[in-house]
Amino acid sequence: MTYGGESKGNYGKRNRTPASPSGDLSPSQRCQPRSLLSNLVLAEWIREELQDIPQDVISSRYKCFGIADSRDLVNPAPSDLVKLGGLLLTWLAAWYLGCLFAAFMPKKAITTSIANLQGIGRKPVLRAPVPKRQKCDHWSPCSPGNYAYRILSGGGKVKLAKICFEDDLLISEEKGNVGRGINIAVVNYKTGKVTSAKYFDMWEGEHSGEMVTFIKNAPEGSLLLMVTHDDGSTWLKNDAKKLIEELGSKEVWNMKFRSSWAFIAAKGFKLPDNIQKEKINHSGKSNRYGGWPAEIQIEGCIPRNLI
Protein backbone atom coordinates (compact mmCIF):
# COMPACT_ATOMS: atom_id res chain seq x y z
CA MET A 1 0.00 0.00 0.00
CA THR A 2 1.26 3.48 -0.77
CA TYR A 3 0.82 6.93 0.67
CA GLY A 4 1.12 9.58 -2.02
CA GLY A 5 3.06 7.15 -4.21
CA GLU A 6 5.50 5.97 -1.43
CA SER A 7 5.83 2.43 -0.08
CA LYS A 8 4.02 1.48 3.14
CA GLY A 9 7.28 0.11 4.54
CA ASN A 10 8.76 3.59 4.69
CA TYR A 11 6.17 5.26 6.95
CA GLY A 12 3.12 2.99 7.37
CA LYS A 13 4.15 1.41 10.67
CA ARG A 14 0.73 1.80 12.27
CA ASN A 15 -1.09 0.00 9.47
CA ARG A 16 -3.22 3.07 8.69
CA THR A 17 -3.76 4.57 5.30
CA PRO A 18 -4.36 8.31 5.44
CA ALA A 19 -6.18 9.88 2.54
CA SER A 20 -4.21 10.92 -0.50
CA PRO A 21 -2.69 14.40 -0.47
CA SER A 22 -5.02 15.58 -3.17
CA GLY A 23 -8.14 13.57 -2.29
CA ASP A 24 -11.44 14.35 -3.93
CA LEU A 25 -11.62 17.94 -2.69
CA SER A 26 -10.67 21.03 -4.63
CA PRO A 27 -7.77 23.15 -3.36
CA SER A 28 -10.18 25.82 -2.10
CA GLN A 29 -12.14 23.20 -0.11
CA ARG A 30 -8.98 21.63 1.38
CA CYS A 31 -7.70 24.97 2.65
CA GLN A 32 -10.87 26.43 4.20
CA PRO A 33 -10.16 28.71 7.22
CA ARG A 34 -10.34 27.01 10.59
CA SER A 35 -10.44 28.26 14.17
CA LEU A 36 -7.35 28.45 16.33
CA LEU A 37 -8.48 25.61 18.56
CA SER A 38 -9.29 23.37 15.60
CA ASN A 39 -5.85 24.02 14.13
CA LEU A 40 -4.07 23.12 17.35
CA VAL A 41 -6.07 19.94 17.94
CA LEU A 42 -5.60 18.78 14.37
CA ALA A 43 -1.92 19.66 14.45
CA GLU A 44 -1.45 17.53 17.57
CA TRP A 45 -3.13 14.61 15.86
CA ILE A 46 -0.88 15.04 12.83
CA ARG A 47 2.21 15.11 15.02
CA GLU A 48 1.31 11.82 16.75
CA GLU A 49 -0.03 9.89 13.78
CA LEU A 50 2.23 11.05 11.03
CA GLN A 51 5.51 11.70 12.82
CA ASP A 52 7.46 9.45 10.40
CA ILE A 53 6.18 11.10 7.22
CA PRO A 54 8.93 13.03 5.40
CA GLN A 55 8.77 16.80 5.30
CA ASP A 56 8.36 17.01 1.55
CA VAL A 57 5.23 14.79 1.63
CA ILE A 58 3.31 16.56 4.37
CA SER A 59 4.41 20.15 3.79
CA SER A 60 1.54 20.69 1.37
CA ARG A 61 -0.94 19.57 4.08
CA TYR A 62 0.51 21.87 6.75
CA LYS A 63 0.01 24.86 4.51
CA CYS A 64 -3.77 24.35 4.71
CA PHE A 65 -3.52 25.15 8.43
CA GLY A 66 -1.19 28.09 8.12
CA ILE A 67 1.89 26.02 9.20
CA ALA A 68 4.88 26.65 6.98
CA ASP A 69 7.17 24.08 8.59
CA SER A 70 6.55 20.81 10.46
CA ARG A 71 8.73 22.08 13.28
CA ASP A 72 5.97 24.60 14.07
CA LEU A 73 3.93 21.66 15.43
CA VAL A 74 6.48 20.99 18.15
CA ASN A 75 7.15 24.67 18.88
CA PRO A 76 3.93 26.69 18.28
CA ALA A 77 4.25 30.44 17.95
CA PRO A 78 3.93 32.47 21.18
CA SER A 79 1.01 34.41 19.66
CA ASP A 80 -0.96 31.17 19.31
CA LEU A 81 -0.37 30.34 22.97
CA VAL A 82 -1.50 33.82 23.96
CA LYS A 83 -4.66 33.42 21.90
CA LEU A 84 -5.38 30.02 23.44
CA GLY A 85 -4.78 31.40 26.94
CA GLY A 86 -7.12 34.31 26.24
CA LEU A 87 -9.78 31.91 24.99
CA LEU A 88 -9.52 29.80 28.16
CA LEU A 89 -9.65 32.88 30.41
CA THR A 90 -12.71 34.18 28.57
CA TRP A 91 -14.46 30.82 29.00
CA LEU A 92 -13.62 30.70 32.73
CA ALA A 93 -14.81 34.29 33.23
CA ALA A 94 -18.11 33.55 31.47
CA TRP A 95 -18.61 30.42 33.60
CA TYR A 96 -17.88 32.32 36.84
CA LEU A 97 -20.20 35.21 35.94
CA GLY A 98 -22.98 32.74 35.07
CA CYS A 99 -22.63 31.01 38.47
CA LEU A 100 -22.57 34.38 40.24
CA PHE A 101 -25.66 35.55 38.39
CA ALA A 102 -27.54 32.33 39.22
CA ALA A 103 -26.59 32.61 42.92
CA PHE A 104 -27.94 36.15 43.35
CA MET A 105 -30.95 35.88 41.02
CA PRO A 106 -34.17 34.78 42.84
CA LYS A 107 -35.27 31.29 41.86
CA LYS A 108 -38.78 32.52 41.10
CA ALA A 109 -37.46 35.10 38.62
CA ILE A 110 -35.37 32.45 36.84
CA THR A 111 -38.34 30.09 36.63
CA THR A 112 -40.54 32.89 35.30
CA SER A 113 -37.94 33.87 32.71
CA ILE A 114 -37.60 30.28 31.52
CA ALA A 115 -41.36 29.97 31.28
CA ASN A 116 -41.52 33.20 29.27
CA LEU A 117 -38.85 31.94 26.89
CA GLN A 118 -40.70 28.67 26.46
CA GLY A 119 -43.85 30.58 25.64
CA ILE A 120 -42.26 32.48 22.75
CA GLY A 121 -43.90 31.44 19.53
CA ARG A 122 -47.00 29.97 21.11
CA LYS A 123 -50.35 31.27 20.02
CA PRO A 124 -51.97 33.48 22.66
CA VAL A 125 -54.98 31.98 24.40
CA LEU A 126 -57.93 34.34 24.39
CA ARG A 127 -60.03 34.11 27.54
CA ALA A 128 -63.32 35.81 28.19
CA PRO A 129 -63.22 38.20 31.12
CA VAL A 130 -64.68 36.89 34.36
CA PRO A 131 -68.21 38.30 34.67
CA LYS A 132 -68.68 40.78 37.48
CA ARG A 133 -70.70 39.40 40.36
CA GLN A 134 -74.04 41.16 40.82
CA LYS A 135 -76.07 41.71 43.97
CA CYS A 136 -77.74 38.54 45.27
CA ASP A 137 -76.03 36.66 42.40
CA HIS A 138 -78.30 38.12 39.72
CA TRP A 139 -77.27 37.41 36.14
CA SER A 140 -77.67 41.10 35.27
CA PRO A 141 -77.54 44.13 37.57
CA CYS A 142 -80.55 46.07 38.71
CA SER A 143 -80.83 49.62 37.42
CA PRO A 144 -79.82 52.43 39.77
CA GLY A 145 -82.66 53.28 42.13
CA ASN A 146 -83.81 49.65 42.53
CA TYR A 147 -83.59 47.02 45.26
CA ALA A 148 -82.27 43.58 44.27
CA TYR A 149 -83.87 40.50 45.85
CA ARG A 150 -83.59 36.74 45.50
CA ILE A 151 -85.60 34.09 47.35
CA LEU A 152 -84.49 30.46 47.16
CA SER A 153 -86.44 27.59 48.72
CA GLY A 154 -84.87 24.58 50.37
CA GLY A 155 -83.93 21.53 48.26
CA GLY A 156 -83.74 17.94 49.47
CA LYS A 157 -82.54 17.26 53.03
CA VAL A 158 -79.44 19.42 53.12
CA LYS A 159 -80.02 22.50 50.94
CA LEU A 160 -81.56 25.11 53.20
CA ALA A 161 -83.65 28.09 52.17
CA LYS A 162 -82.15 31.55 51.56
CA ILE A 163 -83.52 35.07 51.39
CA CYS A 164 -81.24 37.77 49.95
CA PHE A 165 -82.03 41.49 49.77
CA GLU A 166 -79.57 44.07 48.44
CA ASP A 167 -76.80 41.44 48.63
CA ASP A 168 -77.47 40.86 52.33
CA LEU A 169 -78.51 37.35 53.41
CA LEU A 170 -81.49 37.91 55.68
CA ILE A 171 -82.21 34.21 56.22
CA SER A 172 -79.63 31.50 55.55
CA GLU A 173 -77.70 28.61 57.00
CA GLU A 174 -74.76 30.95 57.55
CA LYS A 175 -76.97 33.24 59.65
CA GLY A 176 -78.28 30.26 61.61
CA ASN A 177 -81.89 31.51 61.39
CA VAL A 178 -83.37 29.15 58.78
CA GLY A 179 -85.58 26.21 59.67
CA ARG A 180 -88.28 23.78 58.61
CA GLY A 181 -91.63 25.34 57.68
CA ILE A 182 -92.19 28.89 56.44
CA ASN A 183 -89.32 31.40 56.75
CA ILE A 184 -90.24 35.11 56.74
CA ALA A 185 -88.08 38.27 56.61
CA VAL A 186 -89.50 41.77 57.07
CA VAL A 187 -87.67 44.70 55.40
CA ASN A 188 -88.22 48.43 55.86
CA TYR A 189 -88.95 49.65 52.34
CA LYS A 190 -87.57 53.17 52.93
CA THR A 191 -84.22 52.09 54.35
CA GLY A 192 -83.85 48.67 52.72
CA LYS A 193 -82.84 47.18 56.10
CA VAL A 194 -84.25 44.04 57.70
CA THR A 195 -86.37 44.66 60.82
CA SER A 196 -87.14 41.04 61.77
CA ALA A 197 -86.69 37.48 60.51
CA LYS A 198 -88.13 34.21 61.80
CA TYR A 199 -89.20 30.71 60.74
CA PHE A 200 -92.37 28.83 61.70
CA ASP A 201 -92.38 25.03 61.81
CA MET A 202 -95.44 23.64 60.02
CA TRP A 203 -94.68 19.97 60.61
CA GLU A 204 -94.55 19.81 64.41
CA GLY A 205 -96.45 22.02 66.84
CA GLU A 206 -99.03 24.75 66.44
CA HIS A 207 -97.19 27.71 64.93
CA SER A 208 -99.72 28.92 62.34
CA GLY A 209 -101.33 31.40 64.76
CA GLU A 210 -97.89 32.65 65.83
CA MET A 211 -97.08 33.33 62.17
CA VAL A 212 -100.34 35.27 61.73
CA THR A 213 -99.41 37.52 64.65
CA PHE A 214 -95.89 38.04 63.23
CA ILE A 215 -97.28 39.14 59.83
CA LYS A 216 -99.87 41.47 61.38
CA ASN A 217 -97.22 43.12 63.53
CA ALA A 218 -95.11 44.02 60.48
CA PRO A 219 -95.25 47.83 60.06
CA GLU A 220 -96.95 49.52 57.13
CA GLY A 221 -94.44 50.27 54.40
CA SER A 222 -92.70 46.90 54.82
CA LEU A 223 -91.66 44.21 52.37
CA LEU A 224 -92.40 40.62 53.43
CA LEU A 225 -90.26 37.86 51.85
CA MET A 226 -91.46 34.29 52.48
CA VAL A 227 -90.09 30.87 51.54
CA THR A 228 -90.53 27.24 52.59
CA HIS A 229 -88.03 24.64 53.69
CA ASP A 230 -89.13 20.99 53.83
CA ASP A 231 -92.88 21.07 54.65
CA GLY A 232 -94.80 24.34 54.99
CA SER A 233 -98.43 23.23 54.74
CA THR A 234 -99.31 20.45 57.22
CA TRP A 235 -100.15 22.77 60.16
CA LEU A 236 -100.86 25.91 58.08
CA LYS A 237 -104.36 27.07 59.06
CA ASN A 238 -106.94 28.75 56.83
CA ASP A 239 -106.75 32.10 58.63
CA ALA A 240 -103.04 32.24 57.86
CA LYS A 241 -103.69 31.33 54.22
CA LYS A 242 -106.36 34.06 53.98
CA LEU A 243 -104.00 36.66 55.43
CA ILE A 244 -101.28 35.75 52.95
CA GLU A 245 -103.82 35.82 50.14
CA GLU A 246 -104.76 39.38 51.11
CA LEU A 247 -101.11 40.31 50.65
CA GLY A 248 -101.36 39.20 47.01
CA SER A 249 -100.61 35.44 47.01
CA LYS A 250 -102.36 33.32 44.40
CA GLU A 251 -100.78 29.99 45.28
CA VAL A 252 -100.99 29.74 49.08
CA TRP A 253 -104.25 27.73 48.88
CA ASN A 254 -102.56 25.29 46.50
CA MET A 255 -99.77 24.33 48.89
CA LYS A 256 -99.46 20.60 49.60
CA PHE A 257 -97.18 18.42 51.71
CA ARG A 258 -93.59 19.41 50.96
CA SER A 259 -94.52 21.88 48.24
CA SER A 260 -91.76 24.41 47.50
CA TRP A 261 -93.10 27.97 47.71
CA ALA A 262 -91.56 31.46 47.46
CA PHE A 263 -93.41 34.76 47.78
CA ILE A 264 -92.72 38.50 48.17
CA ALA A 265 -95.37 41.02 49.23
CA ALA A 266 -95.71 44.67 50.22
CA LYS A 267 -97.70 45.88 53.21
CA GLY A 268 -99.37 49.26 52.76
CA PHE A 269 -98.39 49.74 49.10
CA LYS A 270 -98.47 47.84 45.79
CA LEU A 271 -95.59 46.18 43.97
CA PRO A 272 -95.25 46.56 40.17
CA ASP A 273 -97.03 43.90 38.09
CA ASN A 274 -93.94 43.17 35.97
CA ILE A 275 -91.78 41.72 38.74
CA GLN A 276 -91.65 38.08 39.82
CA LYS A 277 -93.59 37.82 43.07
CA GLU A 278 -94.51 34.15 43.59
CA LYS A 279 -93.69 30.59 42.54
CA ILE A 280 -94.72 27.11 43.67
CA ASN A 281 -93.61 23.55 42.88
CA HIS A 282 -95.13 20.27 44.04
CA SER A 283 -92.59 17.56 44.74
CA GLY A 284 -93.09 14.04 43.49
CA LYS A 285 -91.44 10.77 44.45
CA SER A 286 -89.73 10.63 41.06
CA ASN A 287 -87.75 13.89 41.44
CA ARG A 288 -83.99 13.93 41.98
CA TYR A 289 -84.46 14.23 45.74
CA GLY A 290 -86.62 11.11 46.03
CA GLY A 291 -89.78 12.95 47.06
CA TRP A 292 -88.11 15.67 49.13
CA PRO A 293 -88.82 19.24 47.93
CA ALA A 294 -86.91 20.52 44.91
CA GLU A 295 -85.56 24.07 45.19
CA ILE A 296 -87.24 26.95 43.37
CA GLN A 297 -86.39 30.65 43.31
CA ILE A 298 -87.75 34.06 42.42
CA GLU A 299 -85.66 37.19 41.90
CA GLY A 300 -86.02 40.68 40.58
CA CYS A 301 -85.61 44.42 41.09
CA ILE A 302 -87.99 46.65 43.08
CA PRO A 303 -88.08 50.41 42.42
CA ARG A 304 -87.32 52.55 45.47
CA ASN A 305 -89.88 55.25 44.67
CA LEU A 306 -93.14 53.32 45.15
CA ILE A 307 -94.10 55.29 48.28
More confident residue, 78 or 87: 87
Mean pLDDT, rounded, for 3-7: 42
Return the pLDDT at 179: 95
3-state secondary structure of 284: coil
Residue among 225, 182, 177, 222 at smallest CA distance from 201 = 182
- Whether the predicted pLDDT of 58 surpasses 60: no
Return the pLDDT at 55: 58
More confident residue, 242 or 57: 242
Mean pLDDT, rounded, for 167-194: 96
- Whether the predicted pLDDT of 40 surpasses 70: no
Amino acid at 69: D
- Whether the predicted pLDDT of 14 surpasses 80: no
Residue 10 phi, psi (nearest 5)? -75, -45
- Whether the predicted pLDDT of 29 surpasses 70: no
Write out pLDDT tens, residues 214-232. 999 999 999 999 999 999 9
Neighbour-count burial for 51-74, b at 16+ CB within 10 Å, e otherwise:
eebeeebbeebbebbebeebeebe
Return the ∠ at Cα 176 (arms to 278 and 256), rounded to 5°: 35
